[in-house]
Structures are given as structure tokens and as C-alpha cells.
């Protein structure tokens, strides 16, 4: 019997921490198994000397962050695709058997996407020499027509083995998105397959997904893997599934040599390796927004048992101000940013406090920015309550000056304010559905609220109060929310087909800007609207 081992390695002056959920998830695998299997961070030196080396640079969940940005409580600008391009060109020059791969969600999250619908991001990725990308759920945010145009004009391959474009969908996407591809590096054939999260169907507007179906990722891999192995010496999975599913796949598919993950926004330093008697699989992931550049060196050699693949090195390279921006890519990005620069740098107001839209908080607890947005929605609509899904709040505002760009980065989707009615009984069912979702920072349907208080206990609801009064199961309440949720978005299907639905015609981000304009400054606080009690 052997205990699973987790070791976190830090490389290239990079220092990011795992989220609390990620650590819990990793330690959940700290159980005994049969000898010779288990999780570790890096292979022990067994005297392996490769015949060839393949070097991979990788990114995931860059979310339109083409320009450098700052983290909360830091004035250091990190990321930026022009800096990344410099690093990629250095790696390409240093290693002849090099490739650059991306695991999806390249778009959605900044004004580059809002104004140019992915054109800037795809052109910049092409200029960086991207070999292939997995299709993430946000690749559909501008619709199938836009995605088809982007892919037609891009030299790199788009991969997903579990998305199908049926009657009613863009049929040419069946050709523009391939299940896998084969490239040759160092005399070896490398098979690269893509998988997309099934959450696509609940996290994207239904109007963007007409005719699309998504297979179970593992079932799709079962079908495609024999053919992929027949054609290749090495198998790499570009996964936009999240770390939890990546670990399940590593456990079930030892013939997959490398999983380059995305969707869960996890920083994995040094790689996480699962060893089975029939092979090993390493999982890599590069966090989010391009703050770092993932790096892995594979060693390949031929043994009596077949071709052996080992991870010789893996880490995350810091993309900081010390790295000079590539002139070509910098000019490309600046060409786009100049077109909207004057419009969006206009001040709309001020804030006395940091407005917290950090993903690891707003998807699991009440924040002051969530309160502000929900309050604006309820005030404009004149309803009993309001709620906004946290997945629709994509950034924080540092202040003190608040610009058009700040607001659009917070709410980039252009969702419309709508009103509905629900009985108290159905409201309770709604919040019970939220309570059952994992509190791991991944669930976009966590609700920021106004005009009410919810107390969660364990995976249930202890109490709901509306306007200071206990919820009445028989009473009908008026609600302000957004047009994504009333279509059953984020899996909250109880909100679908509401007979009292009324579209206001107003975009929520516009209402938020108006609120800033009509107040000298804002200073929202957390008020205990959302409470969590332990399940004793």
C-alpha cells in the first residue's frame, strides 16, 4: 500500500498559490492504492536518457487579457500578450521541437472582446505562433457565426472531440473544429486532442447554441483514443474541463501522456503526475489571464515496452515587466486599443472602496460589488428583490476613479435587466439549488442579492427573509434579474418560462454607469445578506 504524494514545485521566479478548493481536491486523493500507482509532482530519476525532447509552452483562460494588468493589493503589472510573445519566440529559437498550445477560453473578459468579438485575440495568438487550441465554453459568447469567421481566418487548429454541430447549427464548424490533430516533433508523431466542458450548455446563452450538442468528455475520449494512439507516439489532451475532471481522466486513461488543462483557473507548478502500472499522465495548468506562461519539457525514448514519455521539467514562467514586449505583437494590440481608448477612459464616477469582484470570492460569498449591482437592479426595477449571478461579474474595480472601461470589464456580457414573479415556495427551491452547488469558486450561478437575506446551512437553506420578513411560501414576489438567468442559465432552470417575464430594454452595465454618474462617490459594504452556517 502506498500513500499518494503531492509536492508543489515553484519555477522561474513564479509564486502563485493554489486555491483552497484546489488543495482540498488534491488532498482528497491522499488515499492508499495498489503499489506503483499514485499522484506525485515529478518523476524520480531512473536513469532515463531521452532520444528526443519536445518543449511545450501552454496557456489557458486568458479571457481577452491582451494588455498587462494588476492584481488586487499590487501595483506590479503582469501578463500581456506582447510580453508572452517575447518569451515564446525565445523558446522557439532555443528548442527546435517546440509547440505552443492553449486550452480554451481565449476570449471574453475585456474590451477587446466587447468591441472586436475575438478578432484581436485570435490575431495576436496567431502572431505568437499558436499551434492549436481547445474550444472553451466562452468561445461561443459571440455566437457561431463569429466563431466560424475567427477560425476561418486563423492558421492554428481548433480542437474538440465532444462538440457536435447538428441541424440548426453552423455546419461548417464541424470542419473548422477537429477532434484531434497530428504534428511531428523530433521524429515522433504527437497526437493532440481537445475536450470541452459540458457546462457549455448551461453557461452560454441558448440562442448562441442552436443545434449544438456536447458529449460526455470521457465517453468521447473512449471513442477517439484508439485511433489517436494508432496514428501517434505521444498523446496530449487539451482539456477545457477543469482540474477535477482532468484528475479523473488521468486516473482512467493512462495512455494519455499529458493533460494541459483549463476552465478551473488553477495554477499547477511542476505538474501533477498520476502513475499507474500501465503508464503515467501529467496534468499541467497555467492559471488564468496570461499572468504566466506554462512550460513543459518532454523526453521521448524507445524501450522494449514501447515509446517512453517522461516529463523532464515543468513550471510556470513569470510574465512580468522584466520581459520586454515584442514589437510586432505590441503594435497589433495597440492598433486595436487605440480604436476604443478615448471612448472608454472617460470617468463615470468614483468609489471610496475597492469593489470586490474577485472570482474566488464573488462566486462563494457576498461582496460589496455584488451588493452594489443587485441594489442598482432592484432600485431601477422597483421590485421586492434582485439577484445577479456571480458568473456575470468578471472583474473588480480598484478606484478611486471609475471609468467606462472599468464597468464594462465588470459586466462584459451586455445582459439586459428583466423582471419576473416567483412564489415564495419557488424562491426557496431556487436558493436550495444554489446551496447544492459545490462552493468551490467554479459555480457561476451563485447569487448576489438585494432586498433579502439568505442563510445557508450545509447543502440547504436555513432561512430566507424578504424585506426583513420571513419568506411566505404562498406570496408572489417581484424580482429583478438578467436575461441569461431567466433562460435557465447556470443550471437554474426554475427561472425558465416565467409567465410574468418583462424585458426592460435596459442593459445592466449602462444602469451601473448611470448610478456612478449620479453619485459623488460610492462605498458599498458587505451587510450579511448571504450567510453560511456550519452543518452541525
Please give the full DSSP string across 288-315, using - where no structure is assigned.
STTSEEEEEEEEEEEETTEEEEEEEEEE
Please state, as a whole number, how many other Cβ atoms lie within 10 Å of the Cβ of residue 168: 11
Categorize the per-residue pLDDT at 51 as very low, low, confident or very high, splitting at 50, 70 and 90. confident
Q: Which residue has the higher pLDDT, 90 or 274?
A: 90
Average pLDDT over residues 176-190: 97
pLDDT above 70 covers a percentage of the chain that reads 90
Q: Is 80 exceeded by the pLDDT of residue 501?
A: yes
Domains 50-336 and 346-533 share a fold: no
SS3 (DSSP) at 349? strand
Q: Is 80 exceeded by the pLDDT of residue 532?
A: yes
Per-residue confidence (pLDDT) for residue 38, from 0 to 100 = 66
Residue 224 and residue 190: Cα distance in Å, rounded? 15
- Count of all residues that appear for the chain in the document: 536
Domain 50-336 sits in CATH 2.160.10.10: no
What's the first-to-final CA gap in the chain, in angstroms?
A: 34
Residue 309 and residue 298: Cα distance in Å, rounded? 7
Average pLDDT over residues 425-453: 97
Query: Is the sign of the CA dihedral 426, 429, 431, 433 positive or negative?
Result: negative
Average pLDDT over residues 46-60: 83
Contact residues for 449 (Cβ-Cβ < 8 A; gap 6+): 366, 370, 374, 385, 386, 387, 529, 530
Q: Is 90 exceeded by the pLDDT of residue 71?
A: no
Average pLDDT over residues 261-280: 88
Average pLDDT over residues 486-515: 94
Per-residue confidence (pLDDT) for residue 36, from 0 to 100 = 52
Q: Where are the domains of the chain?
A: 50-336, 346-533
Categorize the per-residue pLDDT at 49 as very low, low, confident or very high, splitting at 50, 70 and 90. low
> Across the strands, what pairs with 461?
456
Categorize the per-residue pLDDT at 23 as very low, low, confident or very high, splitting at 50, 70 and 90. very low
Q: Is 50 exceeded by the pLDDT of residue 35?
A: no
Q: Which residue has the higher pLDDT, 21 or 266?
A: 266
Query: Is the sign of the CA dihedral 353, 358, 361, 367 positive or negative?
Result: positive
Per-residue confidence (pLDDT) for residue 398, from 0 to 100 = 96
Please state, as a whole number, how many other Cβ atoms lie within 10 Å of the Cβ of residue 379: 15
Q: Is 80 exceeded by the pLDDT of residue 440?
A: yes
Q: Contact, 249 vs 225, CB < 8 A?
A: no
Q: Go through 292-308 and write b for each residue having 16 or more CB atoms within 10 A of its CB, e for each that does not.
A: bbbbbbbbbeeeeeebb
Mean of per-residue pLDDT scores for the chain: 91
Q: Is 80 exceeded by the pLDDT of residue 15?
A: no
Q: Contact, 104 vs 61, CB < 8 A?
A: yes
Per-residue confidence (pLDDT) for residue 28, from 0 to 100 = 42
Q: Is 50 exceeded by the pLDDT of residue 259?
A: yes
* Grid cell 522584466 in the structure block, residue: 322
Report the top-level CATH class of 346-533: alpha beta
Categorize the per-residue pLDDT at 76 as very low, low, confident or very high, splitting at 50, 70 and 90. very high
Per-residue confidence (pLDDT) for residue 119, from 0 to 100 = 98
Residue 79 and residue 43: Cα distance in Å, rounded? 30
Amino acid at each position: 500500500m502506498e500513500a499518494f504524494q503531492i509536492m508543489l514545485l515553484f519555477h522561474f521566479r513564479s509564486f502563485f498559490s493554489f486555491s483552497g478548493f484546489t488543495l482540498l481536491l488534491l488532498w482528497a486523493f491522499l488515499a492508499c492504492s495498489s503499489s506503483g500507482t499514485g499522484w506525485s509532482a515529478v518523476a524520480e530519476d531512473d536513469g532515463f536518457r531521452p532520444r528526443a525532447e519536445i518543449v511545450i509552452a501552454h496557456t489557458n483562460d486568458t479571457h481577452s487579457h491582451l494588455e498587462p494588468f494588476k492584481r488586487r493589493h499590487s501595483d506590479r503589472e503582469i501578463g500581456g500578450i506582447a510580453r508572452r510573445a517575447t518569451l515564446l519566440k525565445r523558446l522557439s529559437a532555443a528548442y527546435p521541437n517546440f509547440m505552443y498550445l492553449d486550452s480554451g477560453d481565449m476570449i471574453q473578459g475585456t474590451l477587446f472582446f466587447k468591441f472586436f468579438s475575438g478578432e484581436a485575440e485570435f490575431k495576436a495568438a496567431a502572431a505568437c505562433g499558436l499551434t492549436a487550441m481547445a474550444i472553451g465554453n466562452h468561445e461561443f459568447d459571440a455566437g457561431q457565426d463569429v466563431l466560424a469567421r475567427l477560425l476561418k481566418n486563423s492558421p492554428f487548429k481548433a480542437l474538440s472531440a465532444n462538440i457536435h454541430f447538428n441541424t440548426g447549427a453552423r455546419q461548417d464548424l464541424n470542419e473548422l473544429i477537429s477532434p484531434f490533430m497530428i504534428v511531428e516533433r523530433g521524429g515522433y508523431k504527437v497526437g493532440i486532442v481537445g475536450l470541452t466542458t459540458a457546462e457549455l450548455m448551461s453557461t452560454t446563452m441558448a440562442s448562441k447554441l442552436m443545434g449544438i450538442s456536447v458529449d460526455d468528455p470521457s465517453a468521447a475520449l473512449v471513442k477517439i483514443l484508439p485511433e489517436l494512439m494508432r496514428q501517434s507516439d505521444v498523446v496530449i489532451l487539451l482539456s477545457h474541463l477543469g482540474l477535477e475532471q482532468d484528475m479523473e481522466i488521468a486516473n482512467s486513461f493512462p495512455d494519455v501522456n499529458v493533460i494541459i488543462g483549463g476552465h478551473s483557473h488553477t495554477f499547477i507548478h511542476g505538474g501533477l503526475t498520476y502513475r499507474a502500472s500501465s503508464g503515467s499522465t501529467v496534468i499541467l495548468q497555467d492559471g488564468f489571464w496570461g499572468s504566466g506562461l506554462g512550460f513543459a519539457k518532454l523526453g521521448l525514448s524507445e524501450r522494449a515496452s514501447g515509446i517512453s514519455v517522461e516529463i523532464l521539467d515543468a513550471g510556470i514562467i513569470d510574465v512580468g515587466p522584466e520581459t520586454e514586449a515584442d514589437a510586432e505583437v505590441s503594435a497589433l494590440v495597440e492598433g486595436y486599443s487605440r480604436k476604443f481608448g478615448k471612448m472608454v477612459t472617460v470617468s463615470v464616477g468614483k468609489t471610496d472602496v475597492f469593489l470586490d469582484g474577485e472570482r474566488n470570492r464573488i462566486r462563494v460569498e457576498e461582496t460589496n460589488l455584488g451588493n452594489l449591482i443587485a441594489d442598482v437592479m432592484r432600485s431601477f426595477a422597483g421590485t421586492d428583490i434582485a439577484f445577479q449571478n456571480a458568473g456575470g461579474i468578471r472583474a473588480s474595480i480598484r478606484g478611486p476613479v471609475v471609468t467606462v472601461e472599468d464597468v464594462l470589464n465588470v459586466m462584459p456580457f451586455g445582459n439586459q435587466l428583466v423582471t419576473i414573479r416567483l412564489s415564495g415556495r419557488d424562491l426557496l427551491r431556487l436558493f436550495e439549488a444554489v446551496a447544492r452547488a459545490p462552493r468551490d469558486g467554479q459555480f457561476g450561478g451563485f447569487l448576489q442579492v438585494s432586498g433579502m437575506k439568505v442563510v445557508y446551512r450545509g447543502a440547504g437553506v436555513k432561512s430566507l427573509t424578504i424585506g426583513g420578513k420571513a419568506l411566505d411560501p404562498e406570496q408572489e414576489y417581484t424580482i429583478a434579474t438578467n436575461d441569461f438567468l431567466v433562460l435557465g442559465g447556470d443550471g437554474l432552470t426554475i427561472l425558465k418560462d416565467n409567465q410574468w417575464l418583462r424585458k426592460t430594454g435596459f442593459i445592466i452595465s449602462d444602469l451601473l454607469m448611470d448610478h456612478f454618474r449620479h453619485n459623488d462617490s460610492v462605498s458599498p459594504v458587505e451587510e450579511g445578506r448571504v450567510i453560511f452556517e456550519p452543518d452541525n
